[in-house]
Amino acid sequence: MRSYVRNVLAQNNSRGSTVIIKNGKPQQISYGWAWYGKRIGNGNDSVVYPTASLQKVVTAAMVVQLMNEKWHTSERFSQNTKISRWYPELKNANNITLGQLINHTSGINAVNTEADRGINYSEDDAVKWAIDNANAIDPSTPGTYFYNNTNYILLAGIIKKISGQSYETNFNNRIVNKLGLANTYLYQNIPSWKTDPISYTWNIKNYQDPEYITKTQASQLVGAANMFTTPMDYYKIQVGLSNGVILNKSDFHYLTHLKSRANNYSGGIYLDNNDTIKSAYGNLGGTHFGIWFQMTTDNRNGLIMFLNQTAGDENAQKQVGYQILNHIKPYTFIAG
């Protein structure tokens, strides 16, 4: 398997770190340099990767945790609760449900969420920017699917409003500590002995056009794309979403079948093949990362692929992964 995966990455001018899951057993296989200039290899113990939009299911899961905790109290809420409860100043909030926020069917269509604004935002300031930016544009009718980071930045703010603690504190207590993750951080908490990777493109040769995620860009995207981890830790997160550590199977089903979904996306991930396959893709504007996972929903087979050198677009990157998936378990996975 190791030789096969490395050969597929090499043949497609791709570099990164992967976890292969076959019959319930995860294996890390990495290839190339995470930081070419310093000769730090992908898969090195010091490297933690951006998850981009693969963080969204984590944020959504924390909302469901809080929902369960508040269910028998006066603060009870559900997927149908209007977000005007938390954001009375937000345009159209009386018509937007929490579930629509989670599923990108809120009608919010703010722009430039990933363009680095050069400001190191606090959580509160990032949420305020999201509100102001959403209010600057007339929203679409709720119910229309429009993928936008603003939805999840607002969810990070709701987590703070409900719990009385920061998104950071909730993330560390509810995810990192619960799962015992040793390599998972929000950007601002990456320790000095760890490093995030540089992203590259293949352009005639390897390691061209280096770009990395700045602390200012990460600070803009609280709850949406400011989590850094390893593919092995992310595997543990995926398992934890249905084994009772983060959520149980019933909670996971609730999260991934919200009434507000307009397609096969719900709660931060896509479900396919009669709910037997789960996946999500992420990258960040101005960088060349290709972050993708596709697993069976029983977590027994699949691929978590964190690419820091990419060649081609999102579909090309998924085809690289699909080739590996077919080697893990043929006739099981989907190409996109």
| pLDDT tens digits, one per residue of 183-218 | 999 999 999 999 999 999 999 999 999 999 999 999
Question: Mean pLDDT of all residues in the chain?
Answer: 97
Q: Over 90: is that where the pLDDT of 3 sits? A: yes
Please give the distance of CA 252 from its chain centroid, rounded to a whole number: 16
Residues whose CB falls within 8 Å of the CB of residue 246, separated by 6 or more in sequence, listed in order: 61, 65, 174, 175, 178, 179, 237, 240
Give the angle subtended at the CA of 145 by the CAs of 142 and 147, to the nearest 5°.
Answer: 115
Distance CA(56)–CA(99), nearest Å, equals 13
The pLDDT of residue 336 is 78
Distance CA(326)–CA(150), nearest Å, equals 35
The pLDDT of residue 224 is 98
- Cβ atoms of 268 and 58 within 8 Å: the answer is yes
| pLDDT tens digits, one per residue of 297-326 | 999 999 999 999 999 999 999 999 999 999
Mean pLDDT of 285-295: 97
The pLDDT of residue 75 is 97
Residues whose CB falls within 8 Å of the CB of residue 109, separated by 6 or more in sequence, listed in order: 137, 139, 140, 146, 148
H helices of the chain, in order, are 2-11, 56-70, 98-102, 123-135, 150-163, 167-171, 177-179, 215-220, 231-240, 249-255, 314-328
Q: Over 90: is that where the pLDDT of 13 sits? A: yes
Q: What is the pTM of this model?
A: 0.98
Distance CA(259)–CA(296), nearest Å, equals 23
In the chain, pLDDT over 90 holds for what percent of residues? 99
User: Quick one: DSSP state of residue 89?
Assistant: T
| pLDDT tens digits, one per residue of 232-266 | 999 999 999 999 999 999 999 999 999 999 999 99
Helix-strand-coil percent breakdown of the chain, rounded to 5?
35, 20, 40
* Backbone CA torsion sign across 302, 260, 56, 54: positive
Residues whose CB falls within 8 Å of the CB of residue 216, separated by 6 or more in sequence, listed in order: 116, 117, 118, 119, 120, 121
Mean pLDDT of 1-17: 98
Q: Going by DSSP bridges, is the β-strand pair 302-310/199-203 parallel, antiparallel, or unpaired? A: parallel
Helix (H, G, I), strand (E, B) or coil at 209: strand
| pLDDT tens digits, one per residue of 61-120 | 999 999 999 999 999 999 999 999 999 999 999 999 999 999 999 999 999 999 999 999
Q: Over 90: is that where the pLDDT of 271 sits? A: yes
